[in-house]
Amino acid sequence: MGMEVRRLTEDDAESYREIRLEALEHHPEAFQATYESVADLPLDAYRQRLRRYALFGGFLDGTLCGFVGFFALKNTKIKHKGLMWGMYVKESARGSGLAGKMVEAVVDHARDEVEQLLCSVIADNERASRFYEKMGFELYGTERRALKIGERYYDEEFRVKFLG
């Protein structure tokens, strides 16, 4: 199985749109955006997102099977920090090692810009929590009732990886 991780470009907008909608539809608790809020966005909105943010795609045999974003904070007192956000890997690619390669790509990219890499995960997602811990992200806090979908609340764990 051919595995590749690379920064996504505008040429990947259609594939990115497809997998992002899948992520929002199947795992609404894992993202702040909702499927309904982005389902009708034009393809150009995805191109703009790919221009604006560092988004990395994980490919298996040439098919986009995962994505993760990076954003360096800008304000003077917090510009030593960056956010890793929006991580998703298709069910069929889980356990393949692709997620680890995607995080490694973000870490490599982030080292040139920030000293700390932050991420968050829904506390109920034990598999993701274990994965981030294995990747060197330390738990530093939990926000109770961070998200609410319908009548259900979700707690969110906050994690950090020190890069320097």
pLDDT in tens, 137-162: 999 999 999 999 999 999 999 999 99
| Percentage of the chain exceeding pLDDT 70 | 99
Name the average pLDDT for the chain.
96
Q: What is the pTM of this model?
A: 0.93
According to DSSP, the residues that pair with 116 across neighbouring strands are: 81, 162
Percent of the chain with pLDDT strictly greater than 90:
96
150: left (phi over 0), alpha (psi -120 to 50) or beta: left
pLDDT band at 164 (very low <50, low <70, confident <90, very high): confident
Domains of the chain: 3-162 (3.40.630.30)
H helices of 3-151, in order, are 13-26, 35-38, 43-52, 98-111, 126-134
Using CA atoms, how far residue 122 sits from 8, 76, 102, 136, 159, in Å, is: 25, 29, 19, 17, 11
pLDDT of 32 above 80 = yes
Mean pLDDT of 112-124: 96
CA dihedral angle for residue 110, residue 47, residue 34, residue 15, rounded to 10 degrees: -90
Please determine, for residue 60, whether its predicted confidence score (pLDDT) is greater than 80. yes
